[in-house]
Amino acid sequence: MAVLVVYGNNANLVAEDNAALRATVVSYIVLRFSQICFYALYSIASHHHRTQNRAYFLLISISICIWIPLLFESVSVRTKVAVAIIGIIYEEVSYVLTFGPWVARWLNLDYTTAVDIDHENDRYTAFTILVLGEFTYAILVGSPAKGGLNLNVMRAIWTLVIAFCFNSMYVYCDGSVDHKHPIRRAVWSAFAWLLIHLPLSGGLLVGGHISAATVRNSHLTPGQRWLWGGGLGVGTFCLFLIALLYEDNDQDGLLRFSKTLRLWPRLALSLIFILLPITSEDQINSTQLVSIGAGLTLAVVAWEVFGSLERDVGLFESWRKHEADELDDEEVPINQSEDDRQHYETFNDGS
């Protein structure tokens, strides 16, 4: 945790200060090494996953060496970015190869790792919500929308709408009534679901930061506009892929729209986000840009909500009491016969 404090205080300054870059890289290397030390310790304490834990220890030890070139000033910025991308990809591939079923199959291991689906789902959901907090954090800290009803307030509200819609698309997945989680579906879908969260988090983090920046600054540079469109576009596309990974087990015709028809607007929205920055500030200013983004994301969520309704469901439910509701309101006598008691319990159980 102490190393995380060092990392967090320097990560935002890596593009401005070489000392901050070195502190960030060194703290990350220490963090990764401390992590794999736990895997080495687990390999001693538990024989069930000893081989996989030690394999992961060796592979991540190699990845630590990949980050070393970032410490030298003689290395150009573009080269450092390329090295960082290679390091990230290498670490993700190492995770997949080590804890997937392939190592256990190649080495004929008696035991292999398993996944607690509820735990993984909760963990990734919580992290995604923290990423979406980038939208809302910056529109509150420092009171950037102060001064009454003005354009700053409107841009802050649109930023909040975009964050809410992304959260809705993530939480409700593909909108199916009966679906199978990607981790339970197959090995390829499980690792795809886990790995897609990386570009999803990166895209939403960048797009959310720029969206919130429009609250304080009414003008966006061309680079900021591309970061906004590219970040939200990548995030929307990742949400589209995540929804596709769920196996739809609904009966045909149960919902108003099929899964494909419900999800295609996400793909269209991701393309629109990516292409919007082509326009200049004179054609579409930052206020109009955020307004278009909020309107489109809200339209996509409304489309999915309507398409996920069952065909025979009305807009409003009737207030008339059903037989089961009337039975719940009745007082059941204590001194009742065994047959009456069994009938009452059977009715309540829905049998």
Is residue 328's pLDDT more than 70? no
Write the DSSP assignment of 103-126 as a string of letters: HHHHTT-S------HHHHHHHHHH
CA distance linking residue 171 with residue 163, whole number of Å: 12
For the chain, percent of residues with pLDDT exceeding 90: 36
Of the ranges 99-108, 119-128, 172-181, 288-297, the best mean pLDDT one: 288-297
pTM beyond 0.85: no
Across the strands, what pairs with 179? 248
| Sign of the torsion angle spanned by Cα atoms 64, 68, 71, 76 | negative
Rounded to whole angstroms, the Cα distance separating 208 from 202 reads 10
How many C-beta atoms surround the C-beta of residue 278 within 10 A? 11
DSSP 78-109: HHHHHHHHHHHHHHHHHHHHHHSHHHHHHTT-
Given a cut of 50, whether residue 350 has pLDDT beyond it is no
pLDDT of residue 32: 92
Strands (E), 111-243: 179-180
Q: At what angle do helices 286-307 and 259-275 cross, to 10 degrees?
A: 170
The chain-wide mean pLDDT, for the chain, equals: 85
Q: Please tell me the distance from the alpha carbon of residue 210 to that of residue 221, in angstroms, as a whole number.
A: 11
Rounded to 5 degrees, φ, ψ at 248 are: -85, 115
Nearest to 174 by CA among 90, 254, 74, 243: 243
What is the spatial distance between Cα 149 and Cα 145, in angstroms, rounded to a whole number? 9
Q: What is the pLDDT of residues 198-242, one digit of tens each?
A: 999 999 999 988 888 888 877 888 899 999 999 999 999 999 999
Task: Find out whether 211 and 228 touch, Cβ atoms under 8 Å.
Answer: yes
Q: Looking at residue 86, what is its pLDDT?
A: 94
Cα–Cα distance, 343 to 143 (Å, whole number): 62
| Residue at 49: amino acid letter | H
Sign of the dihedral defined by the CA atoms of residues 244, 246, 252, 253, in that order = negative
Question: Tell me, what's the pLDDT at 170?
Answer: 92
DSSP state of 185: H
What one-character-per-residue DSSP string does 300-342 give? Answer: HHHHHHHHTSBTT--SS---PPPHHHHHHHSPPPSS--HHHHH
Rounded CA-CA distance 351/333 in Å is 21
3-state per-residue secondary structure call for 235-265: HHHHHHHHHHHCEECCCCCCECCCHHHHHHH
Q: What is the band of 104 on the pLDDT scale with cuts at 50, 70, 90?
A: confident
Residues 132-147: pLDDT tens digits?
887 888 777 766 667 7
Q: Is residue 277 packed enough to be buried (19+ CB in 10 Å), middle (13-18) or exposed (0-12)?
A: buried
The Cα 80–Cα 69 span in angstroms is: 7
Which residue(s) pair with 310 in the sheet?
255
Q: What angle do the packed helices 187-216 and 286-307 form, to 10 degrees? A: 140
Q: Which pLDDT score, from 0 to 100, does residue 337 have?
A: 53
CA distance 247 to 182: 7
